[in-house]
Amino acid sequence: MKKSEIKLGFWSAIFSASFAIIWFVTFNMQDVFQPVPEWKNLKDYAEAFNISRLTLIYPSLLLALTYIIMLACTHRVLPEDKKLWSLIALSIGILYAVMASINYNIQAVSVRQSLAAGEIAGIEMFIPDNSHSIYNALANSYVYMAISMFFASFIFQSGRLEKWIRGLLMVQIISAVGQIGYSMMDISEIIFIASSMVWVVGAPTSFILIAIWFKKQIPERKTLHD
């Protein structure tokens, strides 16, 4: 077990928690930053659009990176008998990170520049405010993140701290089911919002606790009398 891997795992968990919180704040501040007209009127939409409305994509891009680093470090410091769960979690987490990175890069580059230039032909399927857009389809990347977190829960089995982490990670399957139900089966938006709060609260909290867990993995230095 290398101290550098533990240290990297600690900071990636801290940054993951931070980016998850910042995402939630910026998501709820979208209309405060820049209220926009109905997206179907693309001309008015483009004229009113401001980059501040896309603020939430930047912490999301960073979260995709730090989450994968956190899982990789977790896999490295675990004993052999737990590495199956960490490998499954990391593999599914990579699916999340790839989908999220593609989605938010499209927004940060193509959509932003097209709207700023008034080049609106054909971009309606990439507009986040269009609930039927490709953007919202790729937002199901968080389904994979939730499933990844669910499998990661089996890593943590003993002690009070690990039991808290396990519980917070395991219940993320609720947010996955809620998002699949809303996006693929048209269930009530209220149910979707309620299930999403499991991630909003549970994800950053679990990341903070995982950071503490990494701290506890540092071997104690032996004294001269040992």
Residues 111-124: b if buried by 16+ CB within 10 A, e if exposed: bbebbeeeebeebb
Instruction: Report whether pLDDT(21) > 90.
Output: yes
- If DSSP codes are grouped into helix, strand and coil, which group holds residue 21? helix
Instruction: Report whether pLDDT(23) > 50.
Output: yes
Rounded average pLDDT over 5-30: 94
Q: What is the pLDDT of residues 52-109, one digit of tens each?
A: 778 889 999 999 999 999 999 999 999 999 999 999 999 999 999 999 999 999 999 9
| Structure tokens given for 24 | 């939630």
CA-based nearest residue to 76, from 141, 159, 155: 155
Q: Where are the domains of the chain?
A: 3-216
Rounded average pLDDT over 16-36: 86
Task: Give 8's pLDDT tier (boundaries 50, 70, 90).
Answer: very high
